[in-house]
Structure 1
Amino acid sequence: MQKKQKFPYLVGSKWTAQQKIDGWRHFQVVNRKNQGKWVFAEMVAACDPLVRFWVNAKLLKNTSQWQSGWQSLQEIAEVEGYVS
Protein backbone atom coordinates (compact mmCIF):
# COMPACT_ATOMS: atom_id res chain seq x y z
CA MET A 1 0.00 0.00 0.00
CA GLN A 2 1.33 3.43 -0.97
CA LYS A 3 2.13 5.87 1.81
CA LYS A 4 -0.20 8.89 2.03
CA GLN A 5 1.45 12.08 0.77
CA LYS A 6 1.62 14.98 3.24
CA PHE A 7 0.11 18.22 1.91
CA PRO A 8 -1.20 16.71 -1.37
CA TYR A 9 -2.72 19.99 -2.65
CA LEU A 10 0.20 22.25 -1.75
CA VAL A 11 1.39 23.30 -5.23
CA GLY A 12 -0.92 25.96 -6.65
CA SER A 13 -2.42 26.87 -3.28
CA LYS A 14 -2.75 30.55 -2.35
CA TRP A 15 -1.91 32.08 1.02
CA THR A 16 -2.11 35.42 2.81
CA ALA A 17 0.63 36.31 5.28
CA GLN A 18 -0.61 37.99 8.45
CA GLN A 19 2.50 40.23 8.36
CA LYS A 20 4.05 41.63 5.19
CA ILE A 21 7.00 39.70 3.79
CA ASP A 22 9.29 41.83 1.61
CA GLY A 23 6.38 44.25 1.26
CA TRP A 24 3.77 41.67 0.19
CA ARG A 25 1.03 39.61 1.80
CA HIS A 26 -0.32 37.41 -1.03
CA PHE A 27 1.65 34.36 -2.08
CA GLN A 28 1.22 31.22 -4.14
CA VAL A 29 2.99 27.89 -3.76
CA VAL A 30 4.85 27.12 -6.99
CA ASN A 31 6.98 24.18 -5.92
CA ARG A 32 7.41 21.65 -3.14
CA LYS A 33 10.24 19.49 -1.91
CA ASN A 34 10.40 16.65 0.55
CA GLN A 35 13.44 16.35 2.79
CA GLY A 36 13.13 13.35 5.05
CA LYS A 37 10.01 13.83 7.14
CA TRP A 38 9.78 17.55 6.26
CA VAL A 39 7.83 19.14 3.42
CA PHE A 40 8.83 22.58 2.13
CA ALA A 41 6.82 24.97 -0.05
CA GLU A 42 8.34 27.53 -2.42
CA MET A 43 6.28 30.70 -2.04
CA VAL A 44 6.13 33.44 -4.68
CA ALA A 45 4.55 36.86 -4.17
CA ALA A 46 1.45 37.30 -6.33
CA CYS A 47 2.47 40.79 -7.47
CA ASP A 48 6.25 40.33 -7.70
CA PRO A 49 7.60 37.01 -9.00
CA LEU A 50 11.11 38.02 -7.89
CA VAL A 51 10.02 37.73 -4.25
CA ARG A 52 10.28 34.03 -3.45
CA PHE A 53 11.32 31.90 -0.50
CA TRP A 54 10.99 28.41 0.95
CA VAL A 55 8.93 27.72 4.08
CA ASN A 56 8.25 24.59 6.06
CA ALA A 57 4.74 23.64 4.90
CA LYS A 58 3.75 22.84 8.48
CA LEU A 59 4.03 26.57 9.29
CA LEU A 60 1.21 27.31 6.84
CA LYS A 61 -1.18 25.68 9.32
CA ASN A 62 -0.34 28.38 11.89
CA THR A 63 -3.25 30.83 11.51
CA SER A 64 -1.40 33.54 13.44
CA GLN A 65 1.07 33.65 10.52
CA TRP A 66 -0.88 32.45 7.46
CA GLN A 67 -4.47 32.30 6.17
CA SER A 68 -5.39 30.01 3.30
CA GLY A 69 -6.54 31.82 0.18
CA TRP A 70 -6.01 35.47 -0.64
CA GLN A 71 -7.66 37.61 2.03
CA SER A 72 -8.54 41.30 1.70
CA LEU A 73 -7.20 43.80 4.24
CA GLN A 74 -10.70 43.97 5.75
CA GLU A 75 -10.80 40.18 6.15
CA ILE A 76 -7.36 40.23 7.77
CA ALA A 77 -8.50 42.93 10.20
CA GLU A 78 -11.62 40.93 11.08
CA VAL A 79 -9.53 37.85 11.83
CA GLU A 80 -7.27 39.92 14.06
CA GLY A 81 -10.30 41.38 15.83
CA TYR A 82 -9.85 45.01 14.72
CA VAL A 83 -13.23 45.31 13.00
CA SER A 84 -16.45 44.28 14.71
Structure 2
Amino acid sequence: MRDEEKTSRYQVVVNTEEQYSVWPVGRDLPVGWHADGTTGTEQECMDHIDRVWADMRPLSLRLQADCQELTEYRTLSTDTKQN
Protein backbone atom coordinates (compact mmCIF):
# COMPACT_ATOMS: atom_id res chain seq x y z
CA MET A 1 0.00 0.00 0.00
CA ARG A 2 1.36 3.41 -0.96
CA ASP A 3 1.85 6.07 1.75
CA GLU A 4 -0.76 8.25 0.02
CA GLU A 5 -3.35 5.48 0.33
CA LYS A 6 -2.60 5.15 4.05
CA THR A 7 -3.09 8.86 4.78
CA SER A 8 -5.86 9.84 2.32
CA ARG A 9 -9.26 10.35 3.94
CA TYR A 10 -12.39 8.86 2.47
CA GLN A 11 -16.07 8.80 3.33
CA VAL A 12 -18.81 6.26 2.80
CA VAL A 13 -21.57 7.51 0.54
CA VAL A 14 -25.00 6.07 -0.24
CA ASN A 15 -27.27 6.71 -3.21
CA THR A 16 -31.04 6.75 -3.49
CA GLU A 17 -31.01 3.02 -4.30
CA GLU A 18 -29.18 2.38 -1.00
CA GLN A 19 -26.01 1.34 -2.78
CA TYR A 20 -22.71 2.19 -1.07
CA SER A 21 -19.43 3.57 -2.31
CA VAL A 22 -16.23 5.19 -1.06
CA TRP A 23 -15.55 8.82 -1.98
CA PRO A 24 -12.62 11.15 -1.19
CA VAL A 25 -13.34 13.59 1.67
CA GLY A 26 -13.56 17.15 0.40
CA ARG A 27 -14.57 16.19 -3.12
CA ASP A 28 -18.09 17.18 -4.22
CA LEU A 29 -20.51 14.27 -4.13
CA PRO A 30 -22.25 13.21 -7.32
CA VAL A 31 -25.95 14.03 -7.65
CA GLY A 32 -28.10 11.47 -5.84
CA TRP A 33 -25.43 10.50 -3.27
CA HIS A 34 -25.07 11.54 0.38
CA ALA A 35 -22.48 10.84 3.08
CA ASP A 36 -23.49 8.25 5.69
CA GLY A 37 -21.22 9.81 8.34
CA THR A 38 -18.38 7.27 8.17
CA THR A 39 -14.89 8.54 7.34
CA GLY A 40 -11.45 6.95 7.46
CA THR A 41 -8.91 5.31 5.24
CA GLU A 42 -10.18 3.64 2.11
CA GLN A 43 -9.88 0.24 3.81
CA GLU A 44 -11.73 1.41 6.93
CA CYS A 45 -14.55 2.67 4.72
CA MET A 46 -14.64 -0.60 2.76
CA ASP A 47 -14.75 -2.55 6.05
CA HIS A 48 -17.73 -0.43 7.17
CA ILE A 49 -19.52 -1.11 3.88
CA ASP A 50 -18.90 -4.85 4.30
CA ARG A 51 -20.59 -4.68 7.71
CA VAL A 52 -23.66 -2.63 6.76
CA TRP A 53 -24.47 -3.51 3.14
CA ALA A 54 -26.10 -6.88 3.62
CA ASP A 55 -28.30 -6.94 0.50
CA MET A 56 -26.53 -5.81 -2.67
CA ARG A 57 -29.75 -5.45 -4.66
CA PRO A 58 -30.87 -1.88 -5.42
CA LEU A 59 -33.73 -0.63 -3.24
CA SER A 60 -36.18 -0.58 -6.16
CA LEU A 61 -35.51 -4.27 -6.89
CA ARG A 62 -35.89 -5.22 -3.22
CA LEU A 63 -39.21 -3.37 -3.01
CA GLN A 64 -40.43 -5.01 -6.21
CA ALA A 65 -39.50 -8.45 -4.86
CA ASP A 66 -41.22 -7.71 -1.53
CA CYS A 67 -44.38 -6.61 -3.34
CA GLN A 68 -44.34 -9.75 -5.48
CA GLU A 69 -43.90 -11.96 -2.40
CA LEU A 70 -46.82 -10.21 -0.67
CA THR A 71 -49.03 -10.69 -3.73
CA GLU A 72 -48.11 -14.38 -3.92
CA TYR A 73 -48.80 -14.79 -0.18
CA ARG A 74 -52.21 -13.15 -0.48
CA THR A 75 -53.09 -15.33 -3.48
CA LEU A 76 -51.99 -18.48 -1.65
CA SER A 77 -53.86 -17.42 1.48
CA THR A 78 -57.06 -16.74 -0.48
CA ASP A 79 -56.78 -20.05 -2.36
CA THR A 80 -56.32 -21.95 0.91
CA LYS A 81 -59.44 -20.36 2.46
CA GLN A 82 -61.56 -21.24 -0.57
CA ASN A 83 -60.63 -24.94 -0.39
Q: TM-score, normalised by structure 2?
A: 0.28
Normalized per residue, the structure richer in helix is 2
Q: TM-score, normalised by structure 1?
A: 0.28
Normalized per residue, the structure richer in strand is 1
